[in-house]
Structure 1
Amino acid sequence: MKLTVDARKCCGSGQCVLAAPEFFDQDDTGIVVLLAEEAGDDAAGDVEEAVFSCPTAAIEIVGR
């Protein structure tokens, strides 16, 4: 699955980092940083949790 983030929407809650730290990080101001644009099926649960826990919908799965 392909991942995208819209940093302009990010409020810095960090829920994505807690759910899937191998795919998401935060910069010095707390804004989301995408570490990997592709996630395999083995990581689907963590990535989906990150997407659904984002309070501003800044993360999107664009392909499966």
Structure 2
Amino acid sequence: MTEATILTVNDMTCSHCVGTVRKALEEALPGAEINVDLATHKVSFTGDRAKGEEAIKEAGYTPEPA
């Protein structure tokens, strides 16, 4: 089983942000297991950590270690 990467994305402030981050990760990591939680600002995903972080940054957000 692949270990999930968990990041904090404090600049996600609304459901639109959640959708944007989710879509960016889905495009960068096809088939990855993705969870985006607005209440805790946590994003978790399986797959390549560097690709996931880069996708979040390219979408305009700031991922940090959880």
TM-score (normalizing by structure 1): 0.42
TM-score (normalizing by structure 2): 0.42
Q: Of Structure 1 and Structure 2, which has the larger fraction of its residues in helix? A: 2
